[in-house]
Structure 1
Amino acid sequence: MKPEKIQIKTDYIQLGQFLKLANIVDSGGSVKYFLNDYAVFVNGDQDQRRGKKLYPGDIIEVEEVGQFQIVKE
């Protein structure tokens, strides 16, 4: 399965911002609760930090949601 591509204009995006951009959560306030309830993997390693920096080429896998890849616009 090919990951869905999520485009960013900046050099990186934080995990919390990514979850909003990918329409996985509705608001920044719900990010913390989402990360408590669902496993998120960045390049195969589990990471639940909202401030984790994601760079173009990174693969993010969200439990029960899908797989995404960061690409620079």
Structure 2
Amino acid sequence: MSARSPIRAVPIREEPIRLGQFLKLAGLAEDGVHARELVEAGEVQVNGRDETRRGAQLRAGDVVAVGGERARPVLDEAQER
């Protein structure tokens, strides 16, 4: 069994954030169409469970996995200007 990838923190301005938006922001999907395709194909997990709703609401700390990559939204207060 290979080691799991580290979880990359991805700053967000506010929560919740929709799964499709987060996939694009985190670089796990190239664009909205790709995000939809990943979700519909069952290739996305949130907190270890398959997620089939592109509009699923994520909160800071949730772990999103696609393939071998993992990312977690974190609130970034510094982005408020």
Which bracket does the TM-score occupy, shorter chain normalised? 0.7 to 0.9
TM-score calculated relative to the size of structure 2: 0.76
Aligned length: 72
TM-score calculated relative to the size of structure 1: 0.83
For 2:38, what is the secondary structure of its paired residue? helix
Residue in 2 that maps onto 1:26 = 30
- Percent identical pairs in the alignment equals 32
RMSD: 1.5
Q: By how many angstroms is 1:27 displaced?
A: 1.8
Moved over 4 A (4+): none
Task: Provide the rounded CA distance (Å) in 2 between the counterparts of 1:66 and 1:25.
Answer: 11
Q: By how many angstroms is 1:38 displaced?
A: 4.8
Residue in 2 that maps onto 1:46 = 50
Find out whether 1:61 has 2:65 as its counterpart: yes
Residue in 2 that maps onto 1:72 = 75
For 2:64, what is the secondary structure of its paired residue? strand
